[in-house]
Amino acid sequence: MIPENLKYTKDHEWIRVEGSVGVVGITDHAQEALGDVVFVDLPVSGKSVAQGEEACSIESSKAASSIYAPVSGTVKAANEELTADPSLVNSDPYGKGWVYTIEVSNPADLENLLSPQQYQELL
């Protein structure tokens, strides 16, 4: 089930924008492909990222993978709960398993992302 209130990247990140702040995570498809997440290298608050640039990384029992910024902006906060329990990415990828928040610097970046329907077709 793909949430309707999110935008998606072709690299399987999602973003939910509330005002000028976006909450970012990886999709259910991505966490399934990764397997059991064992570590999330969270981004530092204040880090500037461009759309499509690596924001942080995630490690699983199968592989390490980059998490790319769905939009340009400045990281506001990281989900510190993932430090103690990285498996939240597996158990609740669209909820408690969010990775970081970002202050969106260019709202037009959102137009480059996939709608839920487009993401479903990509899969």
Virtual torsion, Cα 66, 26, 100, 50, nearest 10 deg:
50
pLDDT score recorded for residue 60: 96
In three-state secondary structure terms, 103 is strand
pLDDT score recorded for residue 18: 92
Q: Cα separation of 71 and 106, whole Å?
A: 7
- What pTM value is reported for the model? 0.96
- H-helix segments, the chain: 28-34, 81-84, 88-91, 116-122
pLDDT score recorded for residue 24: 98
pLDDT score recorded for residue 19: 93
pLDDT score recorded for residue 2: 86
Domains and CATH numbers, the chain: 7-107 (2.40.50.100)
The predicted-structure confidence for 27-50, as pLDDT tens digits, reads as follows 999 999 999 999 999 999 999 999
